[in-house]
Amino acid sequence: MAKVKVGINGYGTIGKRVATAVSKQDDMEVMGITKTRPTFEAQIALDKGLDVYVPDESVQAFKDAGMKIAGTIKDLYKKIDIIVDCTPGNVGEKYKAEYEAAGIKGIFQGGEDHALTGISFNSTANYSESWGAQFSRVVSCNTTGLLRTLSPIDKKFKINNAYVTIIRRAADPGDSKNGPINALEPSVKLPTHHGIDVQSIMPWLNINTMAVKASTTLMHVHTIVAELSRETTSEEILEVMRKSPRVRFVKSSEGLKTTAEIMELARDLDRDRSDMYEIAVWEDSVKVVGNMLYYYQGIHQESDVIPENVDCIRSMCKLEEDVAKSVEKTNVAMGILNN
Ligand code: NAD
């Protein structure tokens, strides 16, 4: 079967990781990426053998910098079945009409609103809803993290109410525009959009979220309290999480006390860019008292959504109907192991 031809618009934190992940799959291939400016990232993309496409207005700048481009973004549209839009939040929506006119499918990221596509995607929670769709949206890193753990727990125990506080990294490690900061900044517009975003996929879930920005770049941490519809035990919850895809237990008692050690673990795993695609649940924090569940989880914001983008391509391009098979295929190609 012919491979699905994929383009990536925006080659920053998410785009470069999507390009690497797609290039590792045997049922899809990267036909090109886009860059707006002739930066070191554009040069590295060229060095890696990727075809680089640019907006019309950037052609001269690339010529002046001596960087060889494969064409304009419109030329890329002609070569692909689907584009993964990894441009900054609210930029993607400006491209939607172009994708539509070019007759290609498009995946947007969590920086865009759910209303742009009317369908949002998470492998664990709703893989089949994007089946054959022209447009879908892979939800944000925090929403992906919440869905990975809350969705299987809700399926088994039904969550009456979930209360989440997100301790957010202030900026990505490679970003010098937004940091460093020496402060904690509460998000005062409450409840925060995170819970509403979870409801774009689990509309029945009562979820309440708050967030505080912290002076760190490594990961986000979620504190989660969920009121279940019945009493259970910590062991039963651990059993559900153990079977949930892309959830990895870490233990404080084994030295994984903070996000710093989780990132060290990711480096030791020899992953691309030292990424931690799984949601890291502190196993020794999972505690049930009656019908109240408490736990902490860590989110590697730069990478948890990457395997979902690959699965989303499979669902939209009708490559694999069975979510478990797609998740397994993506995981094997990316070196993601089960608990
Ligand atoms: P980024 O700033 O790292 O990368 C964006 C890329 O798009 C850059 O290469 C930029 O040069 C390029 N770009 C800017 N304007 C463009 C345009 N008009 N046309 C084409 N390319 C353009 O951003 P990111 O962190 O990779 O975020 C991308 C999307 O992924 C956003 O929707 C964001 O909300 C979402 N997201 C980000 C994270 C994260 O933590 N970084 C996590 C999950 C989802």
Mutate to test the pocket of ligand 1, among 16, 109, 306 (most ligand atoms within 8 A of CB): 109
Distance CA 56, CA 64 (A): 14
Residues 148 and 85 in one domain: no
Asked if residue 188 is part of any domain, the answer here is yes
Distance CA 13, CA 65 (A): 23
Residues 123 and 208 in one domain: no
Q: What is the pLDDT of residue 338?
A: 72
Residues 123 and 240 in one domain: no
Residues 218 and 73 in one domain: no
Q: How far away, in angstroms, is 34 Cα from ligand 1 center?
A: 12
Per-residue pLDDT tens digits of the chain, which is 339 residues long:
799 999 999 999 999 999 999 999 999 999 999 999 999 999 999 999 999 999 999 999 999 999 999 999 999 999 999 999 999 999 999 999 999 999 999 999 999 999 999 999 999 999 999 999 999 999 999 999 999 999 999 999 999 999 999 999 999 999 988 876 899 999 999 999 999 999 999 999 999 999 999 999 999 999 999 999 999 999 999 999 999 999 999 999 999 999 999 999 999 999 999 999 999 999 999 999 999 999 999 999 999 999 999 999 999 999 999 999 999 999 999 999 876
CA terminus-to-terminus distance, the chain:
32
Angle, helices 323-334/13-23, rounded to nearest 10 degrees: 100
Q: What is the DSSP letter of 140?
A: P
CATH number for the domain that contains residue 12: 3.40.50.720
C-beta 116 within 6 A of ligand 1: no
Nearest to 14 by CA among 304, 263, 312: 304
Residues 221 and 155 in one domain: yes
Residues 13 and 133 in one domain: yes
Q: Which atom of ligand 1 is nearest to the CA of 91?
A: 18
Q: Which of the residues are catalytic?
A: 141
Asked if residue 125 is part of any domain, the answer here is yes
Residues 180 and 294 in one domain: yes
Residues 135 and 67 in one domain: yes
Nearest to 164 by CA among 185, 182, 187, 184: 187
Asked if residue 259 is part of any domain, the answer here is yes
The angle at the Cα of 5, spanning 102 to 3, to the nearest 5 degrees, equals 140
The residues near 40 (Cβ < 8 Å, ≥ 6 apart) are: none
CATH number for the domain that contains residue 225: 3.30.360.10
C-beta 98 within 6 A of ligand 1: no
User: Cβ of 184: how many Cβ atoms within 10 Å?
Assistant: 12
C-beta 33 within 6 A of ligand 1: no
Residues 176 and 100 in one domain: no
Asked if residue 339 is part of any domain, the answer here is no
Residues 159 and 252 in one domain: yes
- Which residue's alpha carbon is nearest to atom 41 within ligand 1? 302
C-beta 217 within 6 A of ligand 1: no
Q: What is the pLDDT of residues 104-126, one digit of tens each?
A: 999 999 999 999 999 999 999 99
Q: How far away, in angstroms, is 110 Cα from ligand 1 center?
A: 10
C-beta 173 within 6 A of ligand 1: no
Q: Which two tokens stand for residue 331?
A: 């995981």
Number of residues in the chain: 339
- Which residue's alpha carbon is nearest to atom 10 within ligand 1? 10
Torsions phi, psi of 261, nearest 5?
-70, -30
CB 7 within 8 A of CB 82: yes
Q: Which domain holds residue 57?
A: 4-139+305-334
Residues 89 and 166 in one domain: no
Residues 257 and 113 in one domain: no
Domain count across the chain: 2
C-beta 140 within 6 A of ligand 1: yes
Q: What is the DSSP letter of 2?
A: P
Q: How far away, in angstroms, is 10 Cα from ligand 1 center?
A: 6
Q: Which atom of ligand 1 is nearest to the CA of 141?
A: 43
Q: What is the pLDDT of residues 181-221, one digit of tens each?
A: 899 999 999 999 999 999 999 999 999 999 999 999 999 99
